[in-house]
Amino acid sequence: MGTFKALVIDRTDAGQTVSFRDVDEADLMDGDVTVRVSHSTLNYKDGLALTGKAPVVRRFPMIPGVDLAGTVEASSHPEFKAGDAVILNGWGLGETHLGAYAQKVRVKGDWLIRRPEGLTPHQAMAIGTAGYTAMLCLMALEKHGLAPERGPAIVTGAVGGVGSVAVALLARAGWHVIAATGRPEEAAYLKGLGAAEILERSELAGPVRPLGKERWAAGVDTVGSTPLANVISMTKYGGAIAACGLAAGMDLPSTVAPFILRNVALLGVDSVMAPKPLRITAWDRLAHELDHAKLAAMTSTIPLDEVVEAGKRIVAGQVKGRVVVEIG
């Protein structure tokens, strides 16, 4: 047993502290696979954990980081052996189980999937939970029977991580994508990912009507609250919105009118506890369907020692696209 470097969140009477320290391998949590982490990423949830803006962390001390790509170092799990390339998203990593902003983790093998062929560790974490969630949203819309010929698809929070990947995936699938954002100066970025139209966030911020003008047949919502309620009110008959985020709030000031008069569906999408077969399907599709050039265009890379400041920026809405964290 030895020590490894990690970023650790602790709680004192004065509040939350975040610091880099040496962690003893003996302090790793129970699991049947030990992974040497090479890359992680920065999601909105990671930003909330790092800043303490929301109760993401459920035990202290905690190593944050909800995503990892790495190599199996030791395993007693039947599916994995030393040297296997793996990824992990969710399952309480960085919330209730020591997370990925560390050189090593010990986890349950049932949480891991093999890194798909065709994706480097860096690319896998450029996708991360955000991109994997975007694919789950696309799959939910497809399962509902929606296709591009039904009309446009809207993406809210389009400049963010989930939104950026959703724009790229929907555009590749043939949808006319309307990218809603509070950062209209990023129009060129969004159109480069495949957006056909840019919608200013202010158009979704006003009072919610029970029914608005029908404008889109499908959507991926990353923000919740009033914007989602407005999106629902303007969804075409028989359409559906896949909801996966709460950046604008957890409330939903809507009415039942769109659901009972327009047959609109609200599809909840969870990535944290999604069953393994669904995860494997989503990641296999991401490896083949997400344009690598567009993925690179939406991705920046930082070392682990910059993640705390980056976490503040992502919560403040100042981060564009995806951020890969090199663990080192």
Segment 179-223, tens digit of pLDDT: 999 999 999 999 999 999 999 999 999 899 999 999 999 999 999
Per-residue pLDDT band for 22 (boundaries 50, 70, 90) equals: very high
In order, the DSSP letters of 191-209 are HHHT-SEEEEGGGGTSPPP
Return the beta strands (E) in the chain as ranges: 3-12, 15-24, 33-41, 67-75, 85-89, 104-107, 113-114, 153-155, 177-181, 197-200, 216-221, 235-243, 265-268, 299-303, 322-326
State yes or no: pLDDT of 1 exceeds 60: no
Secondary structure (3-state) at 226? helix
CATH 3.90.180.10-classified regions of the chain: 3-115+298-326
Decide which of 3.40.50.720, 3.40.47.10, 1.20.1250.20, 3.90.180.10 is the CATH code for 3-115+298-326. 3.90.180.10
The structure's pTM equals 0.95
- Domain 129-268: assigned CATH number: 3.40.50.720
Average pLDDT over residues 101-122: 97
CATH 3.40.50.720 intervals, the chain: 129-268
Task: Quickly count: other Cβ atoms within 10 Å of residue 199's Cβ.
Answer: 20
Quick one: DSSP state of residue 102?
Answer: B
Give the tens place of pLDDT for each residue, 269-310: 999 999 999 999 999 999 999 999 999 999 999 999 999 999
What's the mean pLDDT when you consider all of the chain? 96
